[in-house]
Amino acid sequence: MNFAGNNKHQRLDFQDLMLFRVHEILLVSSPYDAYILEEDGRLTEQILHEYIGMNFSYAPRLWHAETAEQALKMIDERKFDVIIIMLRIADMNAVSLAKKIKKIHPKKSLFLLAFDESELIIFRENEIQHYFDRVFIWSGNSNVFLAIIKQLEDRKNSPRDINKGEVRAIIFIEDSPRFYSVILPLIYQEIMYHTQQLVSKSFNHTHRLLHLRSRTKILFATQFEEAKKYFNAYHKNILGIVSDIRFPRKGILDPDAGIHFTQYVREKEPHIPVVLQSTNLKKKEWADKVKASFLNKRSDSLLYDIRNFITNNFGFGNFIFRSLDGAEIAVAVNLKELRNQIKKIPENIMIYHASSNHFSNWIAARGEFSLAKKLRPKQVTDFESPEELRTYLVQSIDKTLDEEKILRVADFSTREKTTVTNFTRLYGGSLGGKARGLGFMNKIIRDTNIQNKFPDVVIQIPRIAVIGTDAFDQFLVENKLYEKIYTMETNSQLETVFINASLPANLIKSLKAFLKQVKYPLAVRSSSLLEDSQYQPLAGMYSTLMIQNADKSSKKRLDQLSEAIKRIYASTFFKDLHSITSISRHRHTEEKMAILITELIGQNYGDRFYPTLSGV
């Protein structure tokens, strides 16, 4: 491991982390499936952003093959780091293609991406396990694609980054493709979000981006022995464990494998945070016995609960000083505030957090590995008194803060103006089903030049602006709506709570800029992940609102648009919709809402506007 600076100010060189990166990606799929992944998830843009964030000299490329024959030819001509195969290939099934690839390139990383687990029935399970690294299910959230890439990179980089770079990791155990395809992207999303939030704004740009390389790794296992291997190798650097209870152990599906694994963990690391999940609520009693938290896998709030557990227990978010009964007594948002609170908190609170490795985990999650490494091996019993421990903690943090004052250089940033186009994205995340379909139609019109065949007819998609699903997630989290959603007795009560909540500040800024350029009437429509899904779609279940967008007051126009957005967000959780999803394969919290803002096509007659055509 290389270090920058002299012996007095040794710092990890983050360029030595994450040496393996995916450069070339081959997606083998039908043209429509490729469009969904690329246009809906903006895969190339997301990968480019992440890649530049790691300060490499050039960005990875996403290649597409529409047939197995084309894929095999491309593999012969170019080296691909990862190949993702979808099931709908015209000239060969996915397993047969994987066999051919593995015969020529036995070490090639292959992933199978399906739309539903029912599509896998035609293949033998041992065939899939033999030829593919993992099987993932794409249910509308394009983050699963990035999770595949990150998981491959973590698998390759973890031995070096954890052992030599002191990077921290989370062990995640789940054998169901449907569940890990939802939970794994969620954990990665939380890791990346908190990593970016935790990098100090006073760092220079280069240091900030390089710092992201030290992000927490995920050690993903589907069976007991695999998880045990990870724990034995890296237990000193594990932030926490998220695990199913029922998964294979010794080659057999063991209904208590998660309990056995937690017992094994407790023998070496009694204070590591562990959360166990199961559909069997009776397992909670066993989880309590091994001092693990328990979550119901059938709960509508499962994803929110996992996110909440990670934030509160794995060193992400603010540091919460708690009394022995769990009550919050103080908060620290950065290293300086942590030091100030340690100076004055009661001895028993300080000893509780120190003995549970809370300080070192929280500091490590911020990339301060040298300080975390210094604190981690220390035991409370190593000090003659609590005050000696307090002095050691404060002085150690002070030394790190003094070094940072010397090494940091501040940045100044500016924002560029944007122009509304025929298809504009106002916020990140997935486009959702409705916007995805319109985007695909827009692409067909452009690619086929159909307008040239009918020169006397105007063929176009009305101007569209999309608020991606990231805004929906942020809206719910910032307003703490997950805690209120399932307590509302009527749809009108739910709608009132949502209308009174605040949209994300960055979204408000985008809407203001958007409305400055847009003077025509608007239809504000739902575009959820599951609305037009290929399996059990929820078309027609959500709200659509029309607004005149003609008031002289820009504030009133913004208020009208904001209220329409919030009403559609609220309709995601209406009771009749919840009844439908409860009898389907979908969990209600898997649904995410994007917003489609479309130009209304029509004419003015006096003081009224009449749409040219209306229908469903």
Domains of the chain: 13-162 (3.40.50.2300), 168-317 (3.40.50.2300), 329-407 (no CATH), 423-611 (3.30.1490.20)
Nearest-angstrom CA–CA distance, 196 and 217: 15
Q: Are 265 and 272 within 8 A, CB to CB? A: yes
- Looking at residue 580, its pLDDT comes to 55
- Looking at residue 502, its pLDDT comes to 94
Starting at the earlier edge strand, list the strands of the sheet with 522-528: 423-427, 464-467, 593-599, 522-528, 544-547
Separation in Å, CA 221 to CA 29, 32, 171, 175, 248: 27, 32, 8, 8, 10
Q: Are 259 and 291 within 8 A, CB to CB? A: no
304: three-class secondary structure by DSSP: helix
**Total-model pTM:** 0.75
Is residue 606 packed enough to be buried (19+ CB in 10 Å), middle (13-18) or exposed (0-12)?
exposed
- Looking at residue 4, its pLDDT comes to 37
Nearest-angstrom CA–CA distance, 131 and 111: 9
Tokens of 568: 């559609």
- Looking at residue 108, its pLDDT comes to 94
Nearest-angstrom CA–CA distance, 345 and 364: 21
Which phi and psi (to 5°) does residue 508 adopt? -60, -40
- Looking at residue 46, its pLDDT comes to 64
Nearest-angstrom CA–CA distance, 494 and 489: 8
Nearest-angstrom CA–CA distance, 436 and 425: 12
Nearest-angstrom CA–CA distance, 362 and 339: 13
Q: Are 7 and 401 within 8 A, CB to CB? A: no
Say what percent of the chain tops pLDDT 90.
Answer: 39
Q: Where are the alpha helices (DSSP H) in 408-490?
A: 433-448, 450-453, 469-478, 482-485
Residue with tokens 């529409």: 66
- Looking at residue 421, its pLDDT comes to 64
- Looking at residue 550, its pLDDT comes to 84
Nearest-angstrom CA–CA distance, 551 and 73: 59
206-261: per-residue pLDDT in tens?
556 556 778 899 999 999 999 999 999 999 899 999 999 999 999 999 999 999 99
Cβ neighbours for 21, distance < 8 A, ≥ 6 positions apart: 51, 54, 56, 60, 153
Which phi and psi (to 5°) does residue 65 adopt? -120, 130
Query: Which DSSP category does 37 fall into?
Result: I
Beta-ladder partners of 609: 604
Q: b/e for 262-275, b at 16 or more Cβ within 10 A?
A: bebbeeeeeebbbb
Q: Report the amino acid identity of residue 82.
A: V
3-state helix, strand, coil in the chain (%, to 5): 50, 15, 35
Residue with tokens 């998981």: 151
Separation in Å, CA 60 to CA 183, 188, 553: 25, 20, 46
Nearest to 259 by CA among 247, 271, 273: 247
Cβ neighbours for 204, distance < 8 A, ≥ 6 positions apart: 408, 409, 410, 411
Nearest-angstrom CA–CA distance, 230 and 219: 7
* CA-only gyration radius of the chain, Å: 26
Nearest-angstrom CA–CA distance, 392 and 27: 53
- Looking at residue 406, its pLDDT comes to 41
- State which residues of the chain have pLDDT below 50: 1-12, 54-56, 201-202, 204, 406-417, 583
How many Cβ atoms from other residues are within 10 Å of residue 305's Cβ?
Answer: 18
Nearest-angstrom CA–CA distance, 237 and 437: 45
Q: Kindly give the pairing relationship between strand 110-114 and strand 82-86.
A: parallel
- Looking at residue 415, its pLDDT comes to 44
Which phi and psi (to 5°) does residue 200 adopt? -60, 140
Nearest-angstrom CA–CA distance, 478 and 566: 14
Nearest-angstrom CA–CA distance, 71 and 27: 9
Tokens of 114: 């399906």
User: Nearest 5 degrees, angle CA 254-CA 258-CA 260?
Assistant: 85
Cβ neighbours for 150, distance < 8 A, ≥ 6 positions apart: 188, 218
